[in-house]
Structure 1
Amino acid sequence: MRLLVVSVCLLAGCLAQEPHPCSSPPLLSGGLTVTTQNEKLFTVAQYMYDALGRRIRLRELGKYENKTFTFDALLLFREATMYEINERARTCIKRPLKVDFQPMEIPKDASLLAQSILGSSSGPGEGLLINTWVGELPNKGGKYLSTVTEFGCIPVSSVYHTEQFGWMVTSFYNNIIGISDPGQLNPPNYCQDADTKTEEEPADFFSVFLNIQ
């Protein structure tokens, strides 16, 4: 009985601690979905995230304006370059990348909206303690809402507003700390001679979800 009381007190102490802004692990991989308010875009993707090398890889399957697409993109922020990769055809398209790397984190100026339990608190292992934060996007880009786990700062979801799509919702699942095959974050050998498409607008992070051509 005494052990139970101690355990309950420890749990209550953890829940009573005030959440603080945090950074996700520098190496993450898993799955995500992106949906938009205007229902023009829906995509499911596998992602690899390397904050140390500032690299992201996304393999997508989605639908945009009722047309399905597949897309494989490697974003190298230090080189300001994005590779559109076709592994089956062993071809690449190289594009300039115009945005800065944004780490997965809760900015220090974010405000805590709520702490809650995803699932149930009725029994052990039935729920996940999460924190939801709100803030302003850089350069007056509007508001965002991000949810991460209390322990580990693992991303759960993010919501932000764009002029083109309205509210965009990104939901993360099957997150794993680490990357099983870091070589997937390097351009394939057949991309070395890829020509850079400079006649078009540089790619930004959001355009990765639109199967840009």
Structure 2
Amino acid sequence: MMLLVVLTCLLAGCLAQRPHPCSSPPLLSGSLSVSTQNEKLWMYAGYMYDALGERIRLTEMGTYENKSFTFDALLLFREGTVYEINKHDRTCKKNPLKADFHPMAIPKDASLLGQIVLGSSSGPGEGLLVNTWMGELPEKAGKFISTVTEFGCIPISTVYHTSQFGWVLTSFFNNILGIENPDQLNPPDFCLDAEMKADEEEPTDFLSLFLNKL
């Protein structure tokens, strides 16, 4: 009985601790979806995220203004380069990438909105403890609201506002620690001879990168 009391007190103490801003694991892979308030854009993508090498790979499909699309992009932030890859035709476009790399993290100055359980707290394994935060986007571009897991700081969702789309919601799922095939974060062989195209408008964020290709 005494052991049960001690364990109960320890559990209550853990749950009572105030959550702190956190950083997601440096190597992640999984899937995400993007939807917009004005319903112009819906997208599903597989993603690979490497914070150590500042690399992101996105393989996407979706609709924009009722037109379907597919898109495969490799973003190399340290090199300032984005590759648009077409595996079927074995072709590659190489463009400048102006955007800075922003790690998946809750900034230290973010404000905690609340802690909740997704699912049920009635039994073990029936729910997921998550924290929701609000903060400022880089360069004071507006506010964001992000939800991450309490344990591991795994991203669940992020929402922010844009003048073009209204509210933009990104949801993460099927997240896995690590990257199963790291070679996917390097340009394919048929991309090595691609020349940089500097005549196009340089993308400054994820949505501008995507819209420049439509």
TM-score range, shorter chain: over 0.9
- Cα deviation, 1:40-71, whole Å, max 9, x if unaligned, reads 00000000000000000000011000000010
Sequence identity percentage: 72
Give the alignment's TM-score, normalised by structure 1.
0.96
Give the alignment's TM-score, normalised by structure 2.
0.96
Instruction: State the shift of 1:192 in Å.
Output: 0.8
Residue in structure 2 matched with residue 212 of structure 1 by the alignment: 213
| Inter-partner Cα distance in structure 2 for 1:209 and 1:12 | 46
| Inter-partner Cα distance in structure 1 for 2:139 and 2:150 | 28
Structure 1 runs (4+) greater than 6 angstroms displaced? none
| Inter-partner Cα distance in structure 1 for 2:190 and 2:22 | 38
| Inter-partner Cα distance in structure 2 for 1:34 and 1:211 | 17
State the AA in 1 paired with 2:213: I
Which blocks of at least 5 consecutive residues in structure 2 are unaligned? Answer: none
Instruction: State the shift of 1:5 in Å.
Output: 3.1
CA contact (8 A) 1:120 1:127 kept: yes
Instruction: State the shift of 1:211 in Å.
Output: 6.7
CA contact (8 A) 2:42 2:64 kept: yes
Instruction: State the shift of 1:19 in Å.
Output: 0.5
Instruction: State the shift of 1:9 in Å.
Output: 2.2
State the AA in 1 paired with 2:156: V
SS of the equivalent of 1:133 reads: strand
Residue in structure 1 matched with residue 130 of structure 2 by the alignment: 130
Equivalent positions of 1:33-112 (< 5 A) are: 33-112=33-112
SS of the equivalent of 1:172 reads: strand
Aligned residues: 213
Which blocks of at least 5 consecutive residues in structure 1 are unaligned? Answer: none
- Aligned Cα root-mean-square deviation (Å): 1.2
CA contact (8 A) 1:116 1:130 kept: yes
State the AA in 2 paired with 1:35: S
- Cα deviation, 1:150-200, whole Å, max 9, x if unaligned, reads 000000000011111111000000100100000000000100111222111
